Structure 1
């Protein structure tokens, strides 16, 4: 990374707190948490995607070789996947515990029908943010949809940057820019 944008850390702290308050609002009667501002704080998740995109684009804009691309993918993967895998395995243990304890302990409101082998595999391979048959992002580790989306964005970014940096024809680069814009707007529908 070329340099650290410390001012962005302040925004990350504030906005991550607001996202936490958003998730807590279902469990609290406090006016500090239950108000219109916090009810809409889920929008700050978008801020994290924009912030991440900015930092990644700034830091890795000079990917030009296959080796650079491999290093980028490896670094991104090992930054996110190990914790994702550990948390997913914890959710598997929870599901197994619920299954084996069902005859001995009454477990109410904890049965998620979406937790099955198909959704497990989509979570395992970080495809749970993609609309695929049988894939439900509200399964296993529900919050991992954002990690899935981020990994897919890293993959698309790496390929786009290496293509743009290797291609000297402005028309080809502009085509990639146009496809990125179309994909961004197309995902809204």
Structure 2
């Protein structure tokens, strides 16, 4: 496990949290917070890196079968997804309500993580809307074992990336503004290059990990990667949003990820703090839980005469979400992961 990357998961999960706090107060309805959707792009790139880090060699050397890999990934994403989906459905977190048949179609699409293939917001954002990204992850996991033979030669994987990236850039350019979210933000096929970027970064990491990089050099690299990311982030409003959904952030995310994967600098040592690592470990629970907590509070606040200032309510809600995430991770996510792998591997 690379502790620094686990801690970065927490940081980018917090950015997604900040991006959704506008449902509580308009103070968060500004670029600095709303651009936090870049956290999802980071998770996709990180997923490609970590999956390659953990499984590429094992699959290529037949130490693990495709079936075992897929079971491990199913056990990772589905239990908590289904739990939060049922909770969101019980809370009424659904975009439209036009009869049981329509509700059932949307629910089934969310249940099977196929809703993001349908370019309609009432599908990909219905129920627990952050789960759309799991549709992408599921697609990545399905494809990964078939990419392993290609990845044996990084040039072949690079060619796949370049072709897909060019096609996507052309498609983005010609897509009407009203359609970009459905076709380029949530669509698993459109987000596939993000995952390949992560796989390519693992190839680079594999070549750099044994290089003699001093702590001083590592610290400079880490600081430069943070600075580059902040420049891209703070000036992103000048760039059309369709590109910011993925390709605009490939370079700064890649530099950030490879810099901290080497764990050579002083910032890496700070990120290796056990509390931050635990925060990264619960980030999946945090990601899936946070929005329906915020929305539930926002709905309660609308119907209540008792008003709490956002600078009080949001820290309280954050603490509640962290507590729920800890409980979820240790008492549901981990036990269910183990139980499902045991059941399906019989």
How far 1:56 moved relative to its partner? 0.8
Change (3 A) 1:86 1:186: farther
Matched, 1:90 2:76: no
SS at match of 2:125: coil
Matched, 1:121 2:121: no
Question: Partner residue of 1:51?
Answer: 46
1:13-59 deviation per Cα after TM superposition (whole angstroms, max 9, x unaligned): 222112101101231255xx454321211112111111121111111
**When the two structures are superposed, what TM-score results if normalisation uses the length of structure 2?**
0.41
Structure ranking higher on relative contact order (CA contacts 8 Å, 6+ apart): 2
More helix by share: 2
- Within a 5 Å distance, the mapping from 1:1-189 to structure 2 comes to 4-30=1-27, 33=28, 35-62=30-57, 63-64=59-60, 65=62, 68-95=65-92, 112-113=96-97, 116-131=103-118, 136-161=123-148, 163-164=149-150, 174=156, 178-187=159-168, 189=171
Question: Partner residue of 2:336?
Answer: none
Q: Distance in 2 between matches of 1:39 and 1:93?
A: 28
Q: Which runs of 5+ in 2 are unaligned?
A: 172-346
Question: Partner residue of 1:107?
Answer: none
Question: Partner residue of 2:312?
Answer: none
How far 1:111 moved relative to its partner? 6.1
How far 1:11 moved relative to its partner? 1.8
Q: Which runs of 5+ in 1 are unaligned?
A: 99-109
Change (3 A) 1:133 1:15: closer
Q: Distance in 1 between matches of 2:144 and 2:134?
A: 15
Aligned Cα root-mean-square deviation (Å): 3.1
**When the two structures are superposed, what TM-score results if normalisation uses the length of structure 1?**
0.71
1:129-157 deviation per Cα after TM superposition (whole angstroms, max 9, x unaligned): 21379982021221110111111111111
Are 2:95 and 2:127, in contact at CA under 8 Å, matched by a contact in 1?
Answer: no
Q: Distance in 2 between matches of 1:134 and 1:22?
A: 18
Are 1:122 and 1:135, in contact at CA under 8 Å, matched by a contact in 2?
Answer: no
Are 2:70 and 2:142, in contact at CA under 8 Å, matched by a contact in 1?
Answer: yes
SS at match of 1:116: helix
SS at match of 2:124: coil
Change (3 A) 1:132 1:43: closer
How far 1:128 moved relative to its partner? 1.4
How far 1:159 moved relative to its partner? 2.1
